[in-house]
Amino acid sequence: MHRLGLSTRVENRSVIVAVEGELDIATADDLREHIQVAIDDHGPWLILDLSALDFMDSSGLNVIINAYRTVRDTDGALALAALNERVTKVVRLVGLHRQVPVHKTVSTAITAMEALEAKSQAG
């Protein structure tokens, strides 16, 4: 049985979704739904904390790409944080890191997101 742990917290105005376990065809819809609720409830400045993500396949990538489109279309942003080596390879293989910022830690992602949000609000 595949299990995906998901939690959401808000720090400043950044919405941080922590993903734990394996993100694949069996769990991708869980993340998709969780992200949509997080955006609806807290806004489009989304950080995916992938520090506890062990595995991700193309289904998981698809969820992240769709999340990127959703936040972009609502004048927000998406960042990925704390990827392990295996997940980093998948992200780099498809070139996702060229569209979505990747940060070593959640705290650096929050700082970058705050700066991006401030810039967006300034005009």
CATH code, domain with 112: 3.30.750.24
- In SS3 terms, the chain reads as CCCEEEEEEEECCEEEEEEEEEECCCCHHHHHHHHHHHHHHHCCEEEEEEEEEEEECHHHHHHHHHHHHHHHHCCCEEEEECCCHHHHHHHHHCCHHHCCCEECCHHHHHHHHHHHHHHHHHC
Asked if residue 106 belongs to a domain, the reply is yes
Whether 122 is covered by a domain: the verdict is no
pTM of the model: 0.94
For residue 17, the cross-strand partners are 8, 48
- In total, how many domains does the chain have? 1
Please check whether residue 123 lies inside any domain of the structure: no
Range of the domain at 43: 4-117
pLDDT tens column, 21-35: 999 999 999 999 999
In a domain, 113, yes or no: yes
In a domain, 107, yes or no: yes
φ/ψ of residue 95, rounded to 5: 80, 15
Which tens digits make up the pLDDT trace of 76-113? 999 999 999 999 999 999 999 999 999 999 999 999 99
